Amino acid sequence: MKLNLGCGSQISEGWFNVDYGMGARFAKLPLFSFLNKKLKIFDLDWDKRIFLHDLRKTFPWDDDSVDFIYTSHTLEHFSREDGYAFLKECHRVLRKGAIIRIVVPDLSFIVSEYVNGNIKADCFVEKLGVLYNTYRNSLKGKLSPFVQFPHKCMYDTQTLKSTLEDIGFKAESKTAFQSKIPDIEKIELSNRTENAVIIEGEKR
């Protein structure tokens, strides 16, 4: 069992792809794809094969039943408390010796870019991803709180590693495509690993 949690519109073959975004939910509706092309509510094409589950809630999988979990650019969209609960659930469902791989934006990189003058002060908050995007399309603007998910908690390598260790994982920092997951190249996107924290945890 391999879980891709917070898959977005990315479907990876051989993985159980899970999301709860509005686009994933709407994709289950008849004619949604046709209407979305006309109204352009969502910029992405969502696959109706995505399994729907609110990842802030108890997972529907049994204890010690999962071999691998991959989650990229998802954890930062939860509050610190919800994120911790999410990681606890990941630990619960993973088998002993199983692997979780987490990719999140690196707060230390963004801060260093600001300190070094590569990000201006008035753009700094935007770079953190904590704001809703603005649109000229009034419909998109009104729907922003329902279709966008700004960042609610940011991480650096040490913070995420320590959090996983506190939960009970043996954690280590990784680079792009360096992984104990055999088919990592099938699920990891290189552009999502740039300026990112990548941590793998092994359930003890």
DSSP structural state of residue 62: -
User: 137 falls in which pLDDT band (50, 70, 90)?
Assistant: low
> Where do the domains of the chain lie, and which CATH numbers do they carry?
2-106+151-203 (3.40.50.150)
Polymer length in residues for the chain:
204
42-99 per-position pLDDT tens digit: 555 677 889 999 999 999 999 999 999 999 999 999 999 999 999 999 999 999 999 9
- CA separation for the pair 56, 146 (Å, rounded): 16
> What pTM did the predictor assign?
0.88
